[in-house]
Amino acid sequence: MTVEGFDFEEKAKIVDSSNMIKLIRGFPEQIITAWRLGEGLVVKHCEKIVFCGMGGSGISGDILTMLVDKPSVSVHDYDLPRWVDSNTCVVVNSYSGNTEEAVSCFKQAVRHDCELVVVTSNGRLEKLAKTYRKLLVTIPKGFQPRSAIAFLMLPVLRILYNSGLVDKELSFKKALKILKSVEGKSLTIMSRFDVDALPIIYGTGFLKPIAYRWRTQFNENAKVLAISHALPECNHNELEALQSLNIKKHLFLLSSKLDSVRVKKRLTLTKKYARKAGITITHLEFPRDVLASVLPAIHLGDFITYYHAVRLGVNPSPVQVIESFKKDMGFSL
């Protein structure tokens, strides 16, 4: 795995002391195992859905809002929307089970008599779910939350699918086939992505939250700043700022074959204006099938941000500043 004279495999042996690459490469198998965790589980009285979670646990809710066929919102905070009631399903995701914002949302959901689904590996939320006899999905321990996205997302998708709340074709076979080529594709992309360039990620349609996922993976894996936005919204504001910052920038465009003619024209023009600003571009178009787009897009972002960390000589696993901040905050609920 050498790109332009840089041996990623050899460098990874030095910097990746926690062997994150094993977890990333295990994503296809994790998908299959995670889907089975939701087997036979259903929710009732569900007219609205609220997904709650923070950080690596919360991104699954952002993605699922794009896939469900009921009004839904993803909350990254302490409080549920005012409109929740007994016909609202609240899904609380916290890998550790000790995220205070997620615990706060759980308690509010109990007070409002909401239907509840808890996804966690341990901690306070596991105990609360058992105490209040709420639907609990216990997922495997030993992951960084951001590396456990299959377990945080797929069991919930299965439950919602079982409950008739997802009316889209879910083609795992096609998705798993595409996943086999993702690592090689990521290394090809690395050859066009300068090590010192600021990553900018735009996503269309149901890939909008994947753009945000890439941004946070750049933050936590490579420890670099990144920008993400949704298209077409970015054409109405951030386009004006692409000329600013006298630094190298690389634009990743994540789009789908489902995009409308007008969105496709916007993609073409966005690339035109980005090139005028001296920005290098990688445009990735994913299939019409939802899972064959979302899952490979997640996987590709994980590999790119991992190999960017390796290229920078950064251990991708630890997030010491975040852990220090959590310690300073303490837990108060």
Residue pLDDT, tens place only, 64-100? 999 999 999 999 999 999 999 999 999 999 999 999 9
Quote the pTM value.
0.95
Residue tagged 């690389």 (tokens): 250
Do the Cβ atoms of 139 and 121 come closer than 8 Å? yes
Identify the CA nearest to 154 among candidates 23, 39, 77.
39
Q: What is the CATH number of the domain that holds 250?
A: 3.40.50.10490
Residue 156 within any structural domain of the chain:
yes
Catalytic: which of 101, 208, 220, 299? 220
Identify the CA nearest to 224 among candidates 188, 246, 197.
197
Residue tagged 């990688």 (tokens): 282
pLDDT at 263: 98
Answer yes or no: do 55 and 156 share one domain.
yes
Answer yes or no: do 36 and 150 share one domain.
yes
Domain boundary among 104, 136, 168: 168
Average pLDDT over residues 202-212: 97
Catalytic: which of 4, 44, 173, 236? 236
Contact residues for 196 (Cβ-Cβ < 8 A; gap 6+): 247, 248
Structural domain for 41, as ranges? 23-168
d(CA 75, CA 78): 8
**pLDDT tens digits, residue range 132-165?**
999 999 999 999 999 999 999 999 999 999 999 9
pLDDT at 1: 61
Is position 22 annotated as part of the catalytic site?
Answer: no
**pLDDT tens digits, residue range 277-291?**
999 999 999 998 889
Average pLDDT over residues 176-190: 95
d(CA 86, CA 47): 9
pLDDT at 4: 66
Answer yes or no: do 286 and 150 share one domain.
no
d(CA 145, CA 95): 6
Is position 45 annotated as part of the catalytic site?
Answer: no
Catalytic: which of 174, 185, 223, 326? 326
Is position 220 annotated as part of the catalytic site?
Answer: yes
Q: How confident is the model at residue 245 (pLDDT cuts 50, 70, 90)?
A: confident
Answer yes or no: do 142 and 179 share one domain.
no
d(CA 151, CA 60): 9
pLDDT at 151: 98
What does the mean pLDDT of the chain come to?
A: 95
